[in-house]
Chains A and B, each alone.
Chain A
């Protein structure tokens, strides 16, 4: 696939369709993938990669890239295209300045997941059926996909692109039985005290590095409230130990109805906090209250939280809470 993509990128650069390419490049280690913009064939040959570690969602980078001179080629995985659509809907990406090539994805792994399974000296990996074959300093190792894929890929909602100008490889299918709400249901089944203890346990590890916010495609405000001194909640030394909880809860509220469940927040968290669960709870509630809704599935539909229909429930204290 990488060769196919390289050839396509060079072709489009040559014929002038685009003047740069948004893709991934390897870091110091094979699993340290970084998004990068390539402006020439030489750049592409030197750094472009597409492999089992390319989990990064490139859509958010297009907010800036699409505002620059000329057209940019963007390689998007199925789940990235949801974020892309959502940003189109919010008028954040200028669609005509982007040439989208959909690339297939069979689920991605990352260095941490593999290391946690005891794999050391990782040199590369490739997918083969239900297995991941990992090339290491100590020889080849095989892991089942279930063990090797990141948590978000195990509950992949769709392998189908919702938007593209061109598709490389086979079109995938939606994954209706993705069980992505099972973890949320577990949390819902807890008592309020247990749930509070769970989230305190997770969120108190937060170091306010802002990685989740910076990577989140839904977090695209001109000025984030946490950076605004006038908001009263801007980034500063935590005034008390509960502040990081508020940070994540406020962020979850801000992206509610717009979060496509891409899972980047949890992927980048250096403290391994399962932040996606907060957003997924919102998605589950929105589905229950207003009917199934997938942010980013299209660019036209009205989001449930900014729409009103006569059969909307009133999810307030009264809802479900009235008769106890």
Chain B
């Protein structure tokens, strides 16, 4: 028989205002096995914990029940308390009388009755608890960063700086991400390439960093400290170890009308290409959908001109298997597709562009060499209209995003300002719902656009953009402050498209068993207190995959994620969860049901010899659980048709005892 202590917490007035805590501790004090029962204002405080410790010593308690908040909140606290008083941590049970009781009830009598029932269930469980000892698992001292944009680069550099190995997996041929496509950065107007490319080079040169460019994560297995990852290195058809990036092949390639992704299709590239001059790794890649040689075996020109002999038309995708202790998701974002926005004539006129396209048009390395020219006729535009919140803060179902994309107010101010600075002969209009500029020096930046550069900010939305036959774009909008309709004959219209998580994020989240919100942004473990960790242990979040972010925020979060990874990798051992499955081999019939449902691959089978009646033996196939790999999810215990599988700490009999205690009323 256990000697059980019951500790009922008031949680200030959180519990005590709705639950008669004295009545609960009195009622539970009469339960079988309970030798001590009390209540206190804040059981989690030092004084409260001392009550528990003293009771454990004074009453020789073998198990305790704390009636308090959710175990997610303070189970760990009370386990530590018990351990420090010499009681096994797993002899502690929490009855959640706050979230599951006081917070959801109004009637005090009912809430009190329910609190007593929940307490009884916990007591019934403790009766069947057995001390458990946590094992340890080793930590692979290497991190994986998925995504090689500024978020991934910064995280990788910071982890490498602490002396740990990092692999970056990037699906594009080069790392760098969206920032490589940006011209200038707010609020200081540094050139993006000037601050990013040195970091890209640092990554390439750092011997702790391994870049898997043009690669994708195919499979993730394992758990915190011990992830096994399969990475698919897509065939570039170019031997990356031989290619010098001289660019000879790209000049000679006859297939030169392939839309250039890097410039968002505003100009063309060749079938063999290097995305841009500062690419890392600077290695050519053959686009298999465009290359004549790969499609029908005719051409082979690039192989002829390559003095390094790097071209390999027979190259195949290669699967690399690596082990990691931690995984950082840095999959970033994309602007939404604007095909559905006919009111802005995006698909009707070449002169209606997205903001990222506008970035390329104004970038010195872009299709126009940095001169602002209209895509349709290459003429200098005189009137530009910027439309904000295209698809952001949009409540229409099936169209746009409900959230604020956060970065558009600032980059639109930047675009407008730069237009006016370089081309004072332009008139620039910005239509906005609100200008959101809460960041260091952000509002000052926006004010400068309005006050110093004379950008016309109009509060209101554009209703329609109509391309006229003379090449002008007729913009109709409303000025809500003046309460009048505005008609502008524009030469170009720039749409600040909402941003969304990269499409690869959703399947990746499934592989990682990391949770996502309805917009496919990764969810953090706690919105305020654990913003860079996923609820899944060992998975960390960096950059816009977690929510819309500008570069300063992204870099800050990247560093934060890196510090969390470093904290994890600095440990030699991780304490395992002792609540693992185990198989009763006398009952197991080796049917393999459990193995099939185990998401961690923790179950294997052995042929074992058993003693049988009459001095005979028999060899039977039985399941064995690898406790270091088992995460205690319990899937096997329900799949087992024989009832041989059970979960330590949450055994079937314990759960039945809880149910019985609840039903006994």
Contacts and interface: CB of A to CB of B under 8 A. Distances in A.
Interface of A: 67, 89-92, 220-223, 225, 228, 231-232, 254-255, 258, 302-303, 305-307
B437 interface: no
Contact of A220 (B589, B597, B605): B589
Given A91-B621, A92-B591, A222-B620, A302 B596 contact: yes
Interface in B605-654: 605, 618, 620-621, 639, 641-644
Contact of B596 (A67, A225, A255, A306): A306
Given A302-B596, A306-B597, 18 more contacts: A90-B590, A90-B593, A91-B605, A91-B621, A92-B589, A92-B591, A221-B643, A222-B589, A222-B620, A222-B644, A223-B587, A228-B643, A231-B643, A232-B656, A255-B641, A258-B641, A303-B596, A305-B639
Contacts of A231: 643
B334 interface: no
Given A222-B589, A306-B593, A254 B641 contact: yes
A19 B589 CA distance: 26
Contacts of B618: 67
B635 to A, nearest CB: 9
Contacts of B592: 89-91
A228 B605 CA distance: 23
Given A92-B589, A306-B596, A221 B641 contact: yes
Contacts of B587: 221-223, 228
A89 B596 CA distance: 12
30 contacts: A89-B592, A90-B589, A90-B590, A90-B591, A90-B592, A90-B593, A91-B590, A91-B592, A92-B590, A92-B591, A221-B589, A221-B643, A222-B587, A222-B589, A222-B620, A222-B642, A223-B586, A223-B642, A225-B643, A228-B587, A228-B643, A231-B643, A232-B656, A302-B596, A303-B593, A303-B596, A306-B593, A306-B596, A306-B597, A307-B596
The dominant DSSP class at the B interface is loop
B657 to A, nearest CB: 10
Residue in B589, B605, B656 whose Cβ sees the most chain A Cβ within 10 Å:
B589
A255 B641 CA distance: 8
Nearest to A256: B641
Nearest to B589: A222
Q: Which 6 A-B pairs have the closest CB atoms?
A: A90-B591, A221-B642, A306-B596, A222-B589, A91-B590, A306-B597
B121 interface: no
B588 interface: yes
Nearest to B618: A67
A254 B588 CA distance: 14
Interface residues of B, number: 20
A255 B593 CA distance: 12
A89 B591 CA distance: 8
Interface in B555-605: 586-593, 596-597, 605
Nearest to B620: A222
Contacts of B641: 221, 254-255, 258
B563 to A, nearest CB: 35
A91 B591 contact: yes
Nearest to A86: B591
A181 to B, nearest CB: 24
Contacts of A305: 639
Contacts of B656: 232
Contacts of A228: 587, 643
A67 to B, nearest CB: 7
Contacts of A254: 641
Nearest to B599: A308
Contacts of A255: 641
Contacts of B596: 302-303, 306-307
B364 to A, nearest CB: 45
Contacts of B639: 305-306
Nearest to A63: B589
A220 B593 CA distance: 13
Contacts of A221: 587, 589, 641-643
Interface in B101-141: none
A307 B635 CA distance: 11
Nearest to B641: A254
Contacts of B620: 222
Contacts of A220: 589
Contacts of A258: 641
The CB with the most chain B CB atoms within 10 A, among A91, A225, A305, A306, is that of: A306
A225 B592 CA distance: 18
A92 B590 CA distance: 8
B639 to A, nearest CB: 6
Contacts of A90: 589-593
A48 to B, nearest CB: 29
A69 to B, nearest CB: 13
A305 B641 CA distance: 12
Nearest to B590: A91
A67 B619 CA distance: 9
A306 B596 CA distance: 6
Nearest to A87: B591
A254 B589 CA distance: 14
A222 B597 contact: no
A232 B659 CA distance: 14
A302 B597 CA distance: 10
Residue from B586, B590, B591, B621 whose CB has the most chain A CB atoms within 10 Å: B591
- Residue of A90, A225, A258, A307 with most partner-chain B CB within 10 A: A90
A227 to B, nearest CB: 11
Interface in B146-204: none
Contacts of A225: 642-643
Contacts of B588: 222
Nearest to B656: A232
A225 B643 CA distance: 7
Contacts of B597: 306
Nearest to A231: B643
A78 to B, nearest CB: 24
A231 B646 CA distance: 12
